[in-house]
Amino acid sequence: MNWLAEFLKIKFYMVTKDHGFVLTRHNFRETSVIAQIFTLAHGKITGIFKGFYGIKKEFSTPLNLYTLNEFVFYPKKSEIWLMSFADIIKDYSFLRLDFEKAHTAAAMAHLINKVMPGWDPNKEIFGLYKACMDYLDKGKDSQRAYYVFIIKFLTESGFKPEFNRCISCGEEISKNAFFSVKKGGIICDKCVNVYGDVRRISHQAIACLRYIQKADLDTVWRLNINYACEEEILFVLRQFLVYHIDFDIMPERFCKV
């Protein structure tokens, strides 16, 4: 054994362990897989699993989309990292059994993939995705999981819409409130004529949006929000995502908004 080569290998390619969700995957050549993974400590990475379809014992996970796995890999300066071990932590069986919930999990993963830059860890967003996946896994409502995910995601990723004060004059809103997609926040009735893209929004919807932005998830899951209010929230979020992030994926049942 060339001990110097081994020493250099260890020094420059320190083997690392991390948890991650599979965002995308495709086969590479005959036996390998390339996947994008949203990891806890390294952010979004691209990994190659050489010999994935061989008899290697190192890859005991099927590496299905949106599942949570443990990985061992070698961080490098190049774009694609070599994965040496992968094992399943949680396979979220609803992904195979419930189309609507699977679609919600996919939409959340697409948003992460679109917005999060590579190699930029964000433990809050990792924890948020995991919490929403666990919520769906318990058989809870997909629509609730989805809009809560978007509201928290926008806050944590720096796109937070303003729901506290008029985004134009800074005053608190006591009478009619409007939402400006372009400005990314609420507008009072004194400033409303300046903007052409506004839409009326109820005080109840503003209160819910504001509350979800601030409160911890355990409290948010217990909130009682009526159907009309949820429709308003989804409409506002959809407009915001399309305009500011060019993202227009809504799980099918929510498309009527």
> How many whole angstroms separate alpha carbon 111 and alpha carbon 39?
15
> How many whole angstroms separate alpha carbon 192 and alpha carbon 141?
35
> How many whole angstroms separate alpha carbon 163 and alpha carbon 179?
9
Burial (CB < 10 A; 0-12, 13-18, 19+), residue 186, is buried
Nearer CB in complex with Zn ion: 70/162? 162
Shortest gap between Cβ of 190 and Zn ion (angstroms)?
Answer: 5
Angle at which helices 99-115 and 227-245 pack, to 10 degrees?
Answer: 40
Shortest gap between Cβ of 176 and Zn ion (angstroms)?
Answer: 11
> How many whole angstroms separate alpha carbon 107 and alpha carbon 237?
14
- Residue 191 contacts Zn ion per CB under 5 A: yes
Shortest gap between Cβ of 214 and Zn ion (angstroms)?
Answer: 22
- Residue 201 contacts Zn ion per CB under 5 A: no
Of 74, 82, 76, 17, whose CA–CA distance to 47 is shortest? 82
Nearer CB in complex with Zn ion: 19/165? 165
Site for Zn ion in 147-166 (CB under 5 A): 166
User: How many residues belong to the site for Zn ion (CB under 5 A)?
Assistant: 5
- Residue 194 contacts Zn ion per CB under 5 A: no
Question: Among 16, 64, 164, 168, which residue sits at the site for Zn ion (rule: CB under 5 A)?
Answer: 168
Interaction mask 23-52, Zn ion, x per CB under 5 A = ------------------------------
Question: Among 132, 188, 198, 250, which residue sits at the site for Zn ion (rule: CB under 5 A)?
Answer: 188
Of 33-41, 64-72, 134-142, 184-192: span binding Zn ion (CB under 5 A): 184-192
Nearer CB in complex with Zn ion: 180/239? 180
Q: Position of tokens 């503003």?
A: 206
Q: Position of tokens 């796995």?
A: 69
* Beta pairing class for 80-90 and 32-39: unpaired
Under the rule (CB under 5 A), what is the footprint of Zn ion?
A: 166, 168-169, 188, 191
